[in-house]
Amino acid sequence: MYYNENTIIYFNGQFVKAAEAKTDLYSQSLHYGYAVFEGIRSYPVGGGTKIFKAKEHYDRLRHSAQLMKMPFHYSTEQLMELSYEVLRKNNFTDAYLRPIVLCSANMSLSKGKESYLAIEAWEWTNGYLANKMRIMTSSYRRPNPAGFHIEAKVSGHYVNSILACQEAKDNGFDEALLLDNNGFVAEGPGANVFYEKDGVVFTPAKGNILPGITRATVIEICNELNIPVRETFFTVEEMQGADSGFYCGTAAEVVELASLDNVAFKLNWEDSLGAVIQKAYKCKVLEKEFQLQKEVA
Ligand code: PMP
Domain locations along the chain = 8-123, 133-296
Ligand 1 atom having least distance to the Cα of 56: 15
Strand duo 229-232 + 200-204: pairing: parallel
pLDDT confidence bin for 126, thresholds 50/70/90: low
Mean pLDDT over residues 176-188, rounded? 98
pLDDT of residue 130: 63
| Percent of residues in the chain assigned helix, strand, coil, to nearest 5 | 30, 30, 40
Q: Which CATH number fits domain 8-123: 3.30.470.10, 3.20.10.10, 3.10.20.30, 3.40.50.11030?
A: 3.30.470.10
Architecture of domain 133-296: Alpha-Beta Barrel (3.20)
Ligand 1 shell residues, CB under 6 Å:
39, 187, 190-192, 210, 212-215, 249-250
- Confidence label for 125 from pLDDT (cuts 50, 70 and 90): confident
Distance between first and last Cα of the chain: 43
Residue whose CA lies nearest to ligand 1 atom number 5: 190
Using most ligand atoms within 8 A of CB, pick from 55, 214, 219, 247 the residue to mutate for ligand 1: 214
Q: Which of 27, 252, 185 is nearest to 118 (CA)?
A: 27
Q: What is the DSSP string of 93-113?
A: SSEEEEEEEEE-B--SSSPPS
Confidence of residue 294 (pLDDT cuts 50, 70, 90): very low
Give the Å distance between the CA of 248 and the centre of ligand 1: 8
Taking all residues of the chain, what is their mean pLDDT, rounded to a whole number? 96
| Ligand 1 midpoint to CA 192 (Å) | 6
Q: What is the mean pLDDT of residues 148-171?
A: 98
Question: Average pLDDT for residues 280-287, to the nearest whole number?
Answer: 96
Rounded to the nearest angstrom, the distance between the alpha carbon of 294 and the centre of ligand 1 is 32
Q: State how far the alpha carbon of 270 is from the alpha carbons of 33, 179, 224, in Å.
A: 41, 28, 20
| Smallest CA separation from ligand 1 atom 13, residue | 212
pLDDT (mean) for 164-190: 98
Binned at pLDDT 50, 70 and 90, residue 293 comes out as low
131: confidence class by pLDDT, cuts 50, 70, 90: confident
Bridge pairing between strands 253-260 and 133-141: parallel
- Sequence-distant (6+) residues with CB within 8 A of 188 are 135, 175, 176, 177, 178, 247, 249
Please give the angle made by the CA atoms of 215, 219 and 221, to the nearest 5 degrees: 115
pLDDT in tens, 202-237: 999 999 999 999 999 999 999 999 999 999 999 999
The ligand 1 atom at the shortest distance from the C-alpha of residue 252 is 16
Residues 6+ apart with CB under 8 A from 177: 135, 136, 137, 138, 185, 187, 188, 193, 236, 260
Catalytic residue ranges: 153
**What distances in angstroms separate CA 62 from CA 87, 99, 134, 136, 146, one per listed residue?**
21, 11, 34, 33, 21
Decide if pLDDT at 292 tops 90.
no
Length, in residues, of the chain: 297
The pLDDT assigned to 291 comes to 82
Q: Are 8 and 89 in contact (CB under 8 A)?
A: yes
Atom of ligand 1 nearest to the CA of 217: 14
Q: What angle, 0 to 180 degrees and rounded to 10, lies between the N-to-C axes of helices 213-224 and 54-67? A: 140
135 and 18 in contact (C-beta within 8 Å)?
Answer: no
